[in-house]
Structure 1
């Protein structure tokens, strides 16, 4: 029997944290155990900012989860709306991960993602040098491009330094893996055709065996709807991070125009936001101030319940802010497609998910910032509520995913690319 290769993954967040990248990396790690022995270095569970008491007594924790060795670092708690506390938390992970690397034995490969921004790439380079291993850099989001796109920082010197460091990480990788066609284009633009790093495209995924279409009257879907006041209503759902990169503060103003709206079959129209994030409080305040009874806020759902919450939506919103094309890819889309629901895409033309929606026939899209277009599109979906056309849109998304975007397809691509780099 051939001895397995040793692979270290810097994950930042990992199960049981609800971060989408943490879930992807968990499934990737467990899916590659047939050819790799895998160690993950991550923080103690803390995606929402707080840390459970049982993770506050030591600096490091060692666990094994489904065959994967997990080394956890205790980091400072943080508030997502406070930049200083977030920076302290991120630096705690970065320096803790550096120290933890020395606790790991001989390695053949080091794998890191682009989170936290810039530092995620750098820790991979350091791991490569310390362990004399090959380095795979998985770019889920490009920074500083993302920082620039949403105006999180406008300091030109800081942005220039960030760009230099992330290009440095790319140059010192043996392979860069991105998650969208538009992200591949961004990499090419960064290097302007000069000494372009080895690059591959592998889509993210959802486990299509865990997220799948359920009948409208499924017991647990009905329970979820009743719990949050969605029963008997036409539900337009946003599920995921309620954060900076989705223009939700402006989209909520469009939603306000649908107060009291009903479908042709006389169902009330309700907009459900499932999740948490840095602008959730702002949305809640806006909804209260404007007496928007057509909006419901629902907390993050456990992974075991995600299929029921996604199936509770009649239509799903998939959103990115203007300027995110080529910078970030909303992985939430794969869950929407897997659930067999039609999608309202507020996405830039030729971005990865816009392309997938158009290619599959899974929904309709318009440009971020086109608020009149967004209003018109939402109105069309309400008008078409209960029709065969909407059902077919959802079915087409699921069919396309089963043929092209399954968990198994993507994980096999990762195995092949890593072994060949």
Structure 2
């Protein structure tokens, strides 16, 4: 294929709360999406300075805006205040600084043919896209990674009916103004239709998220860097049950600690949590209070090292709290099956992640909140750890990803949907 010249390419503006090198899963996906679409579009990203952990490097504290070029993608970063994930007020200030900063930054990026935004931050991500559409007189593509306020209601983050009603009104407005809505799960199609009572549903498309299968893949258990990771964090010679990702409200992790508590006297198993998030302190406090010596908390890993940390797990958690079906798809699923790891799933029936696990038979799943069954699944894995059962799960998951969920397939779908908007 002959690559288009810069003059021939359409201009695409992406609003991304987080963008690489931030470790947020959406930031990583958007980096791969943007770079994958460079053959068709000249791309500019408006995002915050690297700050997903809440801290900001001194080099990003001197100006309001920072222009960078990362692998031919133009990046305009906005300075925001530091925040604590456990402090609602500081998080709100941080998010609002991005929102208003992004509105201002829109005037600094020139003409655009297409504007693309995601549903993060909740509600504001969609409104930014509408703003960009109006200011640039461009086609608008709204990518919903998580439905809000539905997600907010599911986990009880807010029970203020007026706020929830206004959130719904604003996000439906963003959907209506979008030339195309892209959703990331089959179950999310019904949520979108339900918002509009199956009448005058916005133009939409379904495209799976992904993990780059060329960067994350199975490694031998004795691989030098996998072993080094295990030794560094005290996982060697153990059966490792791993959770890798955001330690947030949407995964029912606090209640799962009561299940893990039942295995605290098992010296052959260790439960490893990799990541940061708003409930990490509560999880650490539970561990210390109940003497869970076989629970380890590990910091976020650099993207280049993710292949080693994922491969250090023998099985991985893939979780959502009750009420998340049709609202969100845990993106960690793609990394788990890319690494060829079996899954302990607590996911609602007919949710996208559960459908994939059941279709491929790459793990055992039950309903969120069914703690007795989750305990039984862990025991089953411990019983089967020396058998070929886990290897079969690994192969089926990886094969499914390679055949159906590759980065290139999804990126080509995005290109086609954006151009047809």
TM-score exceeds 0.5: yes
Q: Which of 132, 138, 160 is matched with 1:133 structurally?
A: 138
- Counterpart position of 2:49: 44
Partner Cα distance (2:230, 2:306) in 1 = 13
Partner Cα distance (1:102, 1:410) in 2 = 30
Kindly state the Cα deviation for residue 386 of structure 1 after the two structures are TM-superposed.
2.3
1:299 aligns with 2:299: yes
1:57 aligns with 2:62: yes
1:332 aligns with 2:332: yes
- Counterpart position of 2:194: 189
Q: Secondary structure, in 3 states, of the residue corresponding to 1:203?
A: coil
Kindly state the Cα deviation for residue 261 of structure 1 after the two structures are TM-superposed.
2.2
Partner Cα distance (1:386, 1:200) in 2 = 43
- Counterpart position of 2:121: 116
- Counterpart position of 2:311: 311
The correspondence of residues 167-206 of structure 1 with structure 2, limited to 5 A, is 167-206=172-211
The correspondence of residues 9-408 of structure 1 with structure 2, limited to 5 A, is 9-261=14-266, 268-408=268-408
Deviation readout 1:33-68 (Å, 9 max, x if unpaired): 000000000000000111110000000000000000
Pairwise CA RMSD: 0.7
TM normalised by structure 2 equals: 0.98
Partner Cα distance (2:201, 2:109) in 1 = 31
Deviation readout 1:179-234 (Å, 9 max, x if unpaired): 00111110010011111000100000000000000001000000000101111110
Where do 5+ consecutive residues of structure 1 fail to align? 263-267
Kindly state the Cα deviation for residue 81 of structure 1 after the two structures are TM-superposed.
1.0
Kindly state the Cα deviation for residue 274 of structure 1 after the two structures are TM-superposed.
0.6
Larger mean Cα displacement after TM superposition, 39-48 or 382-391: 382-391
Where do 5+ consecutive residues of structure 2 fail to align? none
Q: Number of paired residues?
A: 416
- Counterpart position of 1:265: none
Q: Secondary structure, in 3 states, of the residue corresponding to 1:26?
A: helix
Partner Cα distance (2:390, 2:88) in 1 = 42
Kindly state the Cα deviation for residue 389 of structure 1 after the two structures are TM-superposed.
0.8
Kindly state the Cα deviation for residue 275 of structure 1 after the two structures are TM-superposed.
0.6
Kindly state the Cα deviation for residue 260 of structure 1 after the two structures are TM-superposed.
2.0
Deviation readout 1:74-118 (Å, 9 max, x if unpaired): 011111111111111111000000000011111110000000000
Partner Cα distance (2:407, 2:340) in 1 = 16
